[in-house]
């Protein structure tokens, strides 16, 4: 049913729960595949540059953030690939999902309160509105 799964992850606690659900979905279909995307936005890049001057340190920091996600995936028998892409998180995930053939997109919910979500919008909300395949938002 869900053979090609796009998992949006930033290594957070919400993303870890989303990873667990993506693995559950993938285990329902033989030979399924999880594509993990980590959208590195401008704020993250600025923060990484301030704290880590050379690019090797920045890359290691990003890989460190994804260790929990990777750990969940490695415990499963599901084939996966991790990709780091620079850009606005919502736009990057939407473009990646819509220009590749996925059966479902799995994303964690950050849990903004209703006022913040109404004013700012959330990545998961934007993804759910604009991606052309089903989206599973994990709380």
**What digits encode the pLDDT tens for the residues 60-118?**
666 777 899 999 999 998 999 999 898 888 999 999 999 999 999 999 987 544 554 55
Q: Which of 51-55, 63-67, 114-118, 120-124 has the highest mean pLDDT?
A: 63-67
**Is residue 52's pLDDT more than 90?**
no
For the entire predicted model, the pTM comes to 0.83
**Cα torsion angle, 16, 19, 21, 27, sign:** negative
- Here the tokens at position 38 are 């980590």
Domains of the chain (ranges; CATH) run: 4-138 (3.40.50.620)
């Amino acid at each position: 049913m869900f053979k090609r799964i796009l998992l949006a992850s930033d290594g957070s606690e919400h993303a870890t729960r989303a990873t667990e659900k993506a693995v559950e979905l993938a285990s329902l279909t033989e030979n399924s595949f999880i594509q993990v995307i980590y959208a590195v936005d401008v704020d993250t890049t600025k923060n990484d540059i301030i704290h880590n001057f050379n690019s090797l340190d920045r890359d290691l920091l990003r890989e460190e953030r994804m260790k929990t996600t990777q750990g969940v995936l490695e415990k499963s028998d599901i084939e996966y690939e991790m990709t780091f892409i620079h850009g606005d998180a919502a736009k990057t995930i939407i473009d990646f999902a819509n220009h590749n053939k996925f059966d479902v997109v799995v994303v964690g919910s950050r849990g903004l309160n209703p006022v913040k979500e109404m004013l700012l919008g959330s990545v998961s909300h934007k993804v759910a509105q604009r991606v052309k395949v089903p989206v599973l938002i994990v709380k």
